[in-house]
Structure 1
């Protein structure tokens, strides 16, 4: 759904929207924000005079349309600037009937409010200085978070950890940029206000921090999006049994008949707060019919799209040559492979010792070493200890801005080394400041704001 956020925002208008999901529930929350929010709510509320109540208070009463009572409600007051949007905000908690919710919203619109656009509450919070742009985006990430790790990263960004780091870097660059600009005013006197050695050190240090943030995107994206993980191997290697063991439920059909799995089966496995999208695939072999051939083709497509491949082999049946051939044929650039030897419960001690030391030994049927395999899967995707305090880049828009910032800073360093004039040096510093400012919203365009806030739900 496209919003019209490119149109001017009128802060004097009071907006209204349902803040809870659509559908019948025990409770629904309707949110108002704007200069006249409390007065509009007061017109339809029968109870205390809301205009005389203190901020951050809750009041029991009825929403009335003339002589008709629509519902008994709780009204929460947040007097600006002590609110999410820094405007007057009213939240009406009513019963979750669609009829009641729609009736109250229509009544509020008739009383002077207008329907909010997607993301308009958070847009107002940004425009009123309550949040910067990266924090506003973290609100959407927090709402969409589906694991502990993604929730923690979004919360850390919402609290301003990422923003504070960028603002500190930007403030130092602004100071030097102003000195370089000052030199242009005294160009005829050939005066140098910005010490080139100090500027070079600052830009060098800043580039290191920016580079670290860029590299963090790999992990940040894993946390936000989850990890595409494919379980592949020959027929009867125990792939479906392994999926069931990892999920601790009978999700996939298990049979001794080769080729039982003809299509992919997908489930989400959460390990230590990270979501892994597990895909059980058809066995890899020369297909005996057209349907199996399609299944094998889909397996290879899923492997190409994966970030992590769990290759499972029957330790009792496969030869060393076949194992090496499979591993070589399944390797893909950018895809991490874990080699898993299954059915070790059927092996003798001599057969166990003959297995490659690089293989992870399990019995999916007997659930032996499944927890150890889960940790191997986790560490293959998350190669560092997560503390919850680190700054991780999870947004592709931020990544691209940081990459452009890094490029501009490299030009500054090259310019200092080649003794370019102050005007060209100032241009490159301004470029770096521009791209950093795009992340936090110090530099914005209408198109950028529309692209970001149109993706929010209407009540946020």
Structure 2
């Protein structure tokens, strides 16, 4: 990347709209746009104050391209930390292309994916973890993922790590200083205080690492497999949860021969519901493939809903034994997965039948997907499996796999430091593990980086960001 180049890109989605925003950033951005812009005030952009809006026209020689609003950001007081201009034009795709081509001809290079945010990082406007949070914020589609991204973008995670890293760095400096006076057998770093710091860092790292389990599923959506024999109402339940007709519903057994997925936000938490083919013995090759995929989807899910038809039990109580057997099969195969057992079509059964089912399956919940009775209770049950306390308390939650791996490596090195302190190792040996721990801290916030890492991170951004 060449930082002295001026770059340009469309910052709003392509296509028609009321307005579009074209972002220009780099040392020549104000001069380039000024050469095309005719302000109604008659005052050149370079003479305008930073963070002001100017109304005027963009001209290609004498040809008027559009009437626009131009935002001016001078010096380092911009998103990218360098002179920038944003042009708000009418949202015609033709106008957008005319302006982009005109700016290209005037020497602006089309920006690469994430290049504006990368420049913000390289110019010290944000650290690497905050830059990554920008992409998470753009991708957030529910309250929980939005809240986590906003917290990280505000620097809560980074500031927490920077404080611990600085304290560790201070002790490392004292230990390194001891090496210069090794012949005099002096200690500049108080070992008791250092022991307290190591314990504090280990505790913080462990908490952050543990938060990844919930953070990762919140970010991606918590997968929930809806499982049951054919025609028990899985598709109807999915439609009731989504409040729309997405799955095919019919009286023909085995209608759902493949998995159907959709997402729903419940109390700010994203859930990804998977309606699968039913579990039963079948000679139908296509349906058999669907049943095989059912077990694959259970394996991939965080929660499992086992659904059965309560109305079948009232006339055939041996049917319940078969249902219990199927539930035991799921429990034995996936013992660590939360399982919600639902008796559907409960509006068609008597109290006596309900009591009988409850005796055999104490944990069962009764529901009617058709009338939506019990659907809200089910939603509450699903949310109860998610640790929302962390969100309510504004605790830091890790959602990024790169951060997670670096935290694991940092904790491993801090454990080595702890072992060294317990064994009474000399400062030179302690310093080796401390340097490695500092390296992994720096990986997260960007004190330690390389071109390949930055390329991988920012390649996933949209071009205008």
TM-score of the two chains, using structure 1 as the length reference = 0.95
CA apart distance, 1:353: 2.5
Among 98, 104, 107, the alignment partner of 2:99 is 104
**Distance in 1 (alpha carbons) for counterparts of 2:133 and 2:335:** 32
CA apart distance, 1:374: 0.7
Deviation string, structure 1 residues 413-458 (Cα, Å, up to 9, x no partner): 0000111121110111111111011100011111111111122111
Among 129, 134, 141, the alignment partner of 1:146 is 141
Among 159, 170, 174, the alignment partner of 2:169 is 174
**Distance in 2 (alpha carbons) for counterparts of 1:10 and 1:289:** 61
Contact 2:19–2:89, Cα closer than 8 Å, also in 1 = yes
Residue 442 of structure 1 aligns with which residue?
447
Greater Cα offset, 95-104 or 394-403: 95-104
1:403 aligns with 2:414: no
CA apart distance, 1:334: 4.8
Greater Cα offset, 57-66 or 95-104: 95-104
Greater Cα offset, 163-172 or 242-251: 242-251
1:240 aligns with 2:235: yes
Alpha carbons of 1:34 and 1:334: their partners in 2 closer, same or farther (altered >3 Å)?
A: farther
Q: Which segments of structure 1 move beyond 6 Å, counting only runs of 4 or more?
A: none
SS class of match (1:270): strand
Compute the RMSD of aligned alpha carbons.
Answer: 1.6
1:185 aligns with 2:180: yes
Residue 220 of structure 2 aligns with which residue?
225
User: Aligned ranges for residues 307-322 of structure 1 at < 5 Å?
Assistant: 307-318=302-313, 319-322=319-322
**Distance in 2 (alpha carbons) for counterparts of 1:315 and 1:385:** 37
Contact 1:264–1:282, Cα closer than 8 Å, also in 2 = yes
CA apart distance, 1:388: 6.6
Residue 57 of structure 2 aligns with which residue?
62
1:386 aligns with 2:395: no
Alpha carbons of 1:150 and 1:383: their partners in 2 closer, same or farther (altered >3 Å)?
A: closer
Greater Cα offset, 111-120 or 173-182: 111-120
**Distance in 2 (alpha carbons) for counterparts of 1:49 and 1:334:** 67
1:353 aligns with 2:355: yes
Residue 340 of structure 1 aligns with which residue?
342
SS class of match (2:88): strand
Residue 325 of structure 1 aligns with which residue?
325
1:260 aligns with 2:255: yes
Residue 19 of structure 2 aligns with which residue?
27
**Distance in 2 (alpha carbons) for counterparts of 1:446 and 1:250:** 48
CA apart distance, 1:383: 5.7
**Distance in 2 (alpha carbons) for counterparts of 1:383 and 1:315:** 32
**Distance in 2 (alpha carbons) for counterparts of 1:128 and 1:352:** 66
Alpha carbons of 1:325 and 1:383: their partners in 2 closer, same or farther (altered >3 Å)?
A: farther
Residue 418 of structure 1 aligns with which residue?
423
Contact 2:208–2:397, Cα closer than 8 Å, also in 1 = yes
Alpha carbons of 1:415 and 1:385: their partners in 2 closer, same or farther (altered >3 Å)?
A: closer
Residue 160 of structure 2 aligns with which residue?
165
5+ residue gaps, structure 1: 1-8
Greater Cα offset, 361-370 or 340-349: 340-349
Residue 316 of structure 2 aligns with which residue?
none
1:279 aligns with 2:280: no
5+ residue gaps, structure 2: 314-318
Residue 209 of structure 1 aligns with which residue?
204
Contact 1:156–1:388, Cα closer than 8 Å, also in 2 = no
Alpha carbons of 1:70 and 1:334: their partners in 2 closer, same or farther (altered >3 Å)?
A: farther
Contact 1:152–1:388, Cα closer than 8 Å, also in 2 = no
**Distance in 2 (alpha carbons) for counterparts of 1:429 and 1:49:** 55
**Distance in 1 (alpha carbons) for counterparts of 2:388 and 2:231:** 31
1:118 aligns with 2:123: no
Number of corresponding residues: 452
Contact 1:308–1:381, Cα closer than 8 Å, also in 2 = no
**Distance in 2 (alpha carbons) for counterparts of 1:334 and 1:164:** 36
**Distance in 2 (alpha carbons) for counterparts of 1:164 and 1:259:** 54
CA apart distance, 1:250: 2.4
**Distance in 1 (alpha carbons) for counterparts of 2:235 and 2:375:** 14
Deviation string, structure 1 residues 317-345 (Cα, Å, up to 9, x no partner): 35443233212222325532211122222
Deviation string, structure 1 residues 237-271 (Cα, Å, up to 9, x no partner): 22112112111222223233322222222211211
**Distance in 1 (alpha carbons) for counterparts of 2:390 and 2:327:** 29
Greater Cα offset, 259-268 or 31-40: 259-268
TM-score of the two chains, using structure 2 as the length reference = 0.94
Contact 1:287–1:296, Cα closer than 8 Å, also in 2 = no
Contact 1:45–1:63, Cα closer than 8 Å, also in 2 = yes
Contact 1:307–1:334, Cα closer than 8 Å, also in 2 = no
Among 435, 453, 457, the alignment partner of 1:452 is 457
Greater Cα offset, 346-355 or 371-380: 346-355
**Distance in 1 (alpha carbons) for counterparts of 2:382 and 2:124:** 42
CA apart distance, 1:387: 1.7
